[in-house]
């Protein structure tokens, strides 16, 4: 059962979270009690390692037996330099952590900003608590030891109920989108097969998204040889799912999102080593983000026309698999020498990008893909790579990333890198010639399938699956990109 967030004027206070600033005399919020409680907190701070640092926490009991959870708010000063949304989200995340750590099932929170409205502070805090509390538990057949104590309900105390609830509604919708994406990424590849991923896209029809699925026969007719080549070794048929949300002006060109949906990437005949091959269930992460984003736009009735196109294949070695050295003809007509069957993401995106620009004439295209391991070498797991042909588009994406704390770093697309992918027998080959710049040559490959439409590519290989907890997600799937792109759309393309 997932966490229920609510807001109330008078929340029950058996377990109460209160905020404590760093390096400032503790003054307890009047609603949490009297001078004795305030003194208690002062003593607790003096006698423990809890000093009110941002995201620190301490659980204490009042003489009356009430559990008080002190949440560090950091220093009082310095408000202007912070991203205040992220600041409050991190505090919400700290609340989730301490509550689940001490085994509380229910708590109320009485934390407010100084000079900041509850309708700004509380929705962000609640979002942080919600995102950080998400767990994937469906495959446990036995009760987990701590299951009885799983966090079920957090109530935030406020005097301005209506305004807070109104501001939280769109954030709760984004959280739903994030959870859908996390679920898809976390599910193993025997569950999220090409067919189930396409069905999930189809399920967005119930929220008003128009969805079509291209089957292999359709793709053959169209000439998607690059995409079909990748999927030909799998027992599962390849698909392309096309999702359309029409919330903008009738007839206005859409904005387009394209996702890599490799439900499992063994590498194909250029087989990956077994170490960490299991992580390749996340290779549909880009497609997962596009699905989560489209659901979010539809549920919050975004005033924009948007299309999401996801290329869905499984990359397997078998007697029908494509061989290193095969030459395929892409939808664009350009031929590709497949020198490494593990560089498959760019092959399926080549056809998906071409199809998208050709059919929809979008304002711009943004693709998301767990495209290269080299991204992790370059950026670690802190940021995702951004490549763009358009500075305005790049800046908007960088800014949206900073606003939601899903950070991007822009890489070059210099022409000099382009010759790396020239082939001796076809228009291009699917890997670079030389050493290094693996993420850039992959992006240059994609660029050969983009015409005059502004285009950005997000290589999310570094951030889709985390091996440790981060503020907005427990270890595992992050859904990096859903909040970023939702914000990017909301701030720039909804005619406000
Ligand atoms: N899906 C992988 C990239 C990847 C690797 C994502 C590790 C997340 C973690 C992609 O299809 C791939 O295999 N890329 C190759 C390209 C190479 C063969 C040119 C890579 O990065 O090794
Ligand atoms: Mn691969
Ligand atoms: Zn891959």
- Residue ranges of alpha helices (H) inside 325-447 are 345-360, 374-379, 391-404, 438-447
Q: Is the Cβ atom of 196 under 6 angstroms away from ligand 1?
A: no
Q: Determine which residue's CA is closest to atom 5 belonging to ligand 1.
A: 373
Sign of CA dihedral 221, 223, 224, 225: positive
Per the residue annotation, which of 300, 346, 383, 396 is the catalytic one? 346
CA gap 385, 154 in Å, rounded: 36
Yes or no: say if 215 and 239 are a contact pair by the CB < 8 Å rule.
yes
Q: For residue 434, with 0-12 CB atoms within 10 Å meaning exposed, 13-18 middle and 19 or more buried, which class applies? A: exposed
pLDDT tens string, the chain, 496 residues long: the values are 589 999 999 988 889 999 999 987 776 665 556 688 888 899 999 999 999 999 999 999 998 899 999 999 999 876 666 799 999 999 999 999 999 999 999 999 999 999 999 999 999 999 999 999 999 999 999 887 777 678 999 999 999 999 999 999 999 999 999 999 999 999 999 999 999 999 999 999 999 999 999 999 999 999 999 999 999 999 999 999 999 999 999 999 999 999 999 999 999 999 999 999 999 999 999 999 999 999 999 999 999 999 999 999 999 999 999 999 999 999 999 999 999 999 999 999 999 999 999 999 999 999 999 999 999 999 999 999 999 999 999 999 999 999 999 999 999 999 999 999 999 999 999 999 987 999 999 999 999 999 999 999 999 999 999 999 999 999 999 999 999 999 999 999 998 6
Instruction: Tell me which residues have their CB within 5 A of the ion that is ligand 3.
Output: 262, 265, 283, 345
- Has 303 been annotated as catalytic? no
Closest-CA residue to 442 (of 373, 392, 382): 373
The structural domains of the chain, ordered by start, are: 4-158 (3.40.220.10), 176-492 (3.40.630.10)
How much distance in Å is there from the Cα of 209 to the middle of ligand 3? 27
Yes or no: say if 236 and 314 are a contact pair by the CB < 8 Å rule.
yes
Q: Is the Cβ atom of 185 under 6 angstroms away from ligand 1?
A: no
Instruction: Tell me which residues have their CB within 5 A of the ion that is ligand 2.
Output: 265, 342, 344
- Specify the ligand 1 atom closest to the Cα of 370: 6
How much distance in Å is there from the Cα of 58 to the middle of ligand 3? 43
- Contacts of 316 by beta carbon, 8 Å cutoff, 6+ apart: 233, 234, 235, 264, 266, 268
How much distance in Å is there from the Cα of 1 to the middle of ligand 3? 33
């Amino acid at each position: 059962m997932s966490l229920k967030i609510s807001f109330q004027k008078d929340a029950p206070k058996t377990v109460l979270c209160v905020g404590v600033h760093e390096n400032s005399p503790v003054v307890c919020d009047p609603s949490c009690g009297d001078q004795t409680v305030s003194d208690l907190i002062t003593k607790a701070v003096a006698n423990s390692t809890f000093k009110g640092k941002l995201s620190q926490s301490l659980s204490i009991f009042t003489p009356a037996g009430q559990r008080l959870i002190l949440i560090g708010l950091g220093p009082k000063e310095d408000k202007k330099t912070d991203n205040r949304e992220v600041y409050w989200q991190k505090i919400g995340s700290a609340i989730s952590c301490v509550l689940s750590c001490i085994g509380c099932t229910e708590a109320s929170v009485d934390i407010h900003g100084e000079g900041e409205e509850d309708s700004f502070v509380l929705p962000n805090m609640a979002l942080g608590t919600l995102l950080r509390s998400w767990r994937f538990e469906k495959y446990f057949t036995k009760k987990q030891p701590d299951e009885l104590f799983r966090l079920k309900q957090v109530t935030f105390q406020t005097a301005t109920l209506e305004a807070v609830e109104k501001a939280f509604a769109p954030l709760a919708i984004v959280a739903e989108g994030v959870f859908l994406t996390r679920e898809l990424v976390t599910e193993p590849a025997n569950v999220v097969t090409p067919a189930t991923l396409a069905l999930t896209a189809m399920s967005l029809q119930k929220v008003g998204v128009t969805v079509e699925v291209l089957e292999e026969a359709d793709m053959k007719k169209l000439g998607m040889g690059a995409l079909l080549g990748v999927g030909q070794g799998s027992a599962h048929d390849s698909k392309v799912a096309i999702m359309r949300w029409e919330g903008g002006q009738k007839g206005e060109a859409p904005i387009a999102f394209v996702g890599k949906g490799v439900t499992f990437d063994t590498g194909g005949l250029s087989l990956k080593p077994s170490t960490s091959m299991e992580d390749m269930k996340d290779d549909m992460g880009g497609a997962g983000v596009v699905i989560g984003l489209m659901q979010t736009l539809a549920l919050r009735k975004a005033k924009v026309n948007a299309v999401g196109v996801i290329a869905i294949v499984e990359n397997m070695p078998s007697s029908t698999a494509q061989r290193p050295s095969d030459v395929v003809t892409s939808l664009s007509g350009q031929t590709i020498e497949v020198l490494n069957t593990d560089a498959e993401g760019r092959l399926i995106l080549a056809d998906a990008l071409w199809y998208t620009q050709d059919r929809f004439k979008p304002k711009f295209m943004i693709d998301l893909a767990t495209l290269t391991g080299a991204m992790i070498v370059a950026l670690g797991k802190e940021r995702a790579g951004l490549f763009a042909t358009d500075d305005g588009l790049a800046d908007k994406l960088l800014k949206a990333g900073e606003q939601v704390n899903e950070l991007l770093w822009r890489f070059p697309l210099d022409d000099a890198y382009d010759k790396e992918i020239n082939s001796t027998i076809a228009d291009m080959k699917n890997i670079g010639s030389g050493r290094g710049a693996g993420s850039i040559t992959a992006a240059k490959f994609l660029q050969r399938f983009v015409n005059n439409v502004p285009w950005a590519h997000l290589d999310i290989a570094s951030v889709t699956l985390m091996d440790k907890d981060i503020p907005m997600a427990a270890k595992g799937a992050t859904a990096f990109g859903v909040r970023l792109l939702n914000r990017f759309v909301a701030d720039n393309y909804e005619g406000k």
